[in-house]
């Protein structure tokens, strides 16, 4: 009888090993680790797309600038959404003379003749855009808030400028105005 039990043990142990060997859990399939993606500047792929963004930006920029001048420069940070940090410092310096002068702008400015001068797109998605444009002040005037009089009638109402735009993640258009400069070459705004 003991021999019979021993035989069964010889049969059962290897048989169980074979059966259990088939039940061994397979290693789990690898799950790809999610990649952490940092904020990336929106890529402006073409010059045409950059110029469309520039046109929208300048409409917003002039609206913000008009608001600053119309309120007597009470809050020049209104321009923060359309201007780079460096550009905002310059804009604040520019309007400091208006603050407290008792003058405000009446009316809205406009622009036209937006033209591309230089476009550089970089592999990281950033871009720099140099443009020229005419700012039209024909529908604006500066008025003394006490007397209601226009202290000085401007001789030129269409002024040529050049500007440098840079990409900005938080901007609605993807660009902000980094610098706006007087144009010192032939006046392309003459009608």
**Can you give the pLDDT at residue 101?**
80
Q: Which two tokens stand for residue 138?
A: 């024909």
Tell me: the pLDDT tens digits for 73-120?
888 888 888 999 888 888 888 777 777 788 888 899 999 999 999 999
CB 188 within 8 A of CB 160: yes
Tell me: the pLDDT tens digits for 56-85?
999 999 999 999 988 888 888 888 889 998
For the cut 50, the answer to whether the pLDDT of residue 37 exceeds it is: no
Tell me: the pLDDT tens digits for 121-150?
888 888 899 999 999 988 888 888 888 777
pTM of the model: 0.72
For residue 49, the SS3 value is helix
**How far does Cα 58 stand from its chain's mean position?**
13
- Tell me the C-alpha distance between 47 and 39, whole Å: 23
- Domain 47-182, CATH among 3.10.450.240, 3.30.56.10, 3.90.120.10, 3.40.50.2300: 3.10.450.240
Residue 134, beta-bridge partner list: 112, 160
**Can you give the pLDDT at residue 11?**
47
- CA distances to 15, 16, 30, 130, 186 from 10, rounded to whole Å, are 9, 10, 39, 88, 105
């Amino acid at each position: 009888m003991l021999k019979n039990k021993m035989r069964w043990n010889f049969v059962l142990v290897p048989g169980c090993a074979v059966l259990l060997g088939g039940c061994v859990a397979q290693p789990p399939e690898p799950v790809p680790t999610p990649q952490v993606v940092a904020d990336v500047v929106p890529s402006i792929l073409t010059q045409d797309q950059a110029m469309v963004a520039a046109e929208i930006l300048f409409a917003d920029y002039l609206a913000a600038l008009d608001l600053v001048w119309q309120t007597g420069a009470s809050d020049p940070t209104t321009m923060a959404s359309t201007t780079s940090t460096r550009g905002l410092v310059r804009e604040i310096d520019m309007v400091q003379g208006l603050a407290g002068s008792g003058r405000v702008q009446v009316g809205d400015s406009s622009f036209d003749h937006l033209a591309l001068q230089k476009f550089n797109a970089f592999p990281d998605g950033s871009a720099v855009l140099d443009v020229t444009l005419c700012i039209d002040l024909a529908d604006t005037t500066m008025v003394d808030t006490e007397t209601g009089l226009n202290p000085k009638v401007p001789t030129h109402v269409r002024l040529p400028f050049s500007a440098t735009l840079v990409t900005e993640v938080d901007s609605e258009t993807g660009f902000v105005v980094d610098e706006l400069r007087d144009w010192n070459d032939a006046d392309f705004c003459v009608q």
